[in-house]
Each structure stands twice: as structure tokens, then as C-alpha cells.
Amino acid sequence: MTKPEIEEFDKLSISDLMGANQKHLLIAIFIKMKQINGKVCFHDRIIWTFLGILITSFIGGLISLIILNLIGKL
């Protein structure tokens, strides 16, 4: 999509947006967020949050395994 097409989405009503193609709306939202923020930070936050949860779970699992092994030896 080109920039003039994106500006056309600014002038549409809710009922017009409901009838628009989903791919076009998704692209327009992405480009609009990029214009406003400079880059889309939401995607980066999701990735870092997911990685943080995975790392925390892994470390928690290791700690649990070590503690269970120590308890089993007592």
C-alpha cells in the first residue's frame, strides 16, 4: 500500500472499516503504527516477554530438579 491509501483509512467510518479487507486493514494498522512510533515495538515486546518466560521456566526447572535430587539423597 502507498501512503495516500493509508491516509484514506483515516477518513473512513467504523462501518466502512468493518467492510474492508482484513489484509488491507492489518497492513494499514502496521504502517500507521510504524509512522507514529518510528518502529513497531509491540512485536519486540512479545518476543522478549516470551523469551523471558522460557528462560525463567528453564531456570526454575533446574532449581526444582536440583532440590528434588538433594531431598532424594537425604
Nearest one of 26, 7, 27, 8 to 16, comparing CA atoms: 8
In the block, cell 474492508 appears at 20
Q: What is the pLDDT of residue 3?
A: 52
Can you give the pLDDT at residue 1? 47
| Per-residue model confidence (pLDDT) at position 37 | 66
Tell me the DSSP string of the chain. --HHHHHHHHT--HHHHHHS-HHHHHHHHHHHHHHHHSS-HHHHHHHHHHHHHHHHHHHHHHHHHHHHHHHHH-
pLDDT in tens, the chain (74 residues): 445 455 666 666 667 666 767 777 777 777 777 777 666 566 777 888 899 999 999 999 999 999 999 988 76
Angle of CA points 69, 58, 64, to nearest 5°:
25
